[in-house]
Amino acid sequence: YQYPLMFGLILAFCWCSLVCCSRIYMGMHSILDVIAGFLYAILILVVFHPVVDLIDNFNLTYKYAPLIIISLHLALGIFSFTLDTWSTSRGDTAQILGCGAGVACGSHVNYILGLQLDPPPHTLPLSLSSLTVTVFGKAILRLLIGVIVLLLTKVAMKKATIPLACKVFRIPHDDVRRARQRMEVELPYRYITYGMVGFSLMFIVPCLFHFIGLS
Same domain (yes/no): 74, 165: yes
Both 155 and 80 in one domain: the answer is: yes
Same domain membership, residue 14 and residue 25? yes
Instruction: Based on the fold, state whether residues 100 and 147 are members of the same structural domain.
Output: yes
43 lies in the same domain as 57: no
Smallest Cα–Cα separation from 61: which of 123, 104, 98, 96?
104
Q: CA 157 to CA 102: how far, in whole Å?
A: 13
Verify that 9 and 38 share a domain, yes or no. Answer: yes
Residue 127, beta-bridge partner list = 2
Residues 10 and 107 in one domain: no
Same domain, 128 and 165: yes
* 182 and 85 together in one domain: yes
Per DSSP, the three-state class of 127 is strand
Write the DSSP symbol of residue 29: S
CA angle 212, 149, 126 (to 5 degrees): 60
Q: Which domain holds residue 18?
A: 1-49
Q: What is the pTM of this model?
A: 0.82
| Same domain, yes or no: 130 and 178 | yes
User: How many structural domains does the chain have?
Assistant: 2
49, 71, 86 - which closes a domain: 49
Provide CB contacts within 8 A for 61, sequence distance 6+: 111
Question: Quick one: 204 and 160 in the same domain?
Answer: yes
pLDDT tens for the chain, residues 1 to 215: 778 889 999 999 999 999 999 989 988 889 999 999 999 999 999 999 999 999 999 999 999 999 999 999 988 888 876 655 666 777 888 899 999 999 999 999 999 998 866 777 788 888 777 888 988 999 999 999 999 999 999 999 999 999 999 999 888 878 888 888 788 888 899 999 999 999 999 999 999 998 998 87
Residues 41 and 57 in one domain: no
